[in-house]
Amino acid sequence: MQFNYSALDSYEFELLSRDVAEKLMHIKLSCYTEGRDGGIDASDFYFCGSHACPSVVVQAKHWTQHVRYSRLESTLLALIKQLDSRGNLPSRCLILTVASGVTREFQQRLFSKAKALGVQDFKLLDSVKLDQLLSDESNSDILRNHFKLWIAGANVLQNLYNRSFFVGCDLYLANIDERKSLFVQTALFNRAVNILESNPCLIITGDPGTGKTTLTQMLALQMSAAGYRVLYSSCYELEGVISASSPDSNLPELIVLDDFLGQNFLDVDSKLLRLP
Please provide the average confidence, as pLDDT, over all residues in the chain: 81
Report how far residue 75's alpha carbon sits from residue 39's, in angstroms, rounded to the nearest whole number.
10
Q: Which residue would you say has higher pLDDT here, 239 or 138?
A: 138
List all residues 6 or more positions away from 215 whose beta carbon is below 8 Å from its beta carbon.
188, 189, 192, 204
Question: What 3-state DSSP class applies to 169?
Answer: helix
Please write the tens of the pLDDT for every residue from 53-66. Answer: 789 999 999 999 99
Confidence of residue 264 (pLDDT cuts 50, 70, 90): very low
Q: How many CB atoms lie within 10 A of CB 56?
A: 24
Question: What 3-state DSSP class applies to 215?
Answer: helix
Prior bond of 270 cis (ω within 30°)? yes
What pLDDT does 171 receive?
73
Annotated domain spans of the chain: 5-160, 162-274
> In this prediction, what percent of the chain has a pLDDT beyond 90?
36
Give the pLDDT mean for 217-229: 81
**Of 34-43, 108-117, 218-227, 244-253, highest mean pLDDT:** 108-117
What pLDDT does 153 receive?
47
Annotate 237-276 with three-state secondary structure.
Answer: HHHHHHHHCCCCCCCCEEEEEECHHHCCCCCCCCCHHHCC
Confidence of residue 212 (pLDDT cuts 50, 70, 90): confident
How many Å separate Cα 17 from the centre of its chain?
A: 16
Query: Which amino acid is it at 197?
Result: E
> Computed from CA positions of residues 151, 154, 160, 161, in that sequence, does the dihedral angle turn out positive or negative?
positive
Q: Regarding beta strands 93-98 and 30-31, do their DSSP bridges make them parallel or antiparallel, or are they unpaired?
A: unpaired
Render 28-77 in DSSP notation, one character per residue: --EE--SS--TT-SEESHHHH-TTSPPSEEEEEE---S---HHHHHHHHH
User: DSSP class of residue 94?
Assistant: E
Please write the tens of the pLDDT for every residue from 15-29. Answer: 999 999 999 999 999
**Rounded to two decimals, what is the model's pTM?**
0.56
Confidence of residue 168 (pLDDT cuts 50, 70, 90): low
Give the pLDDT mean for 180-192: 80
What pLDDT does 68 receive?
94
5-160 maps to which CATH number?
A: 3.40.50
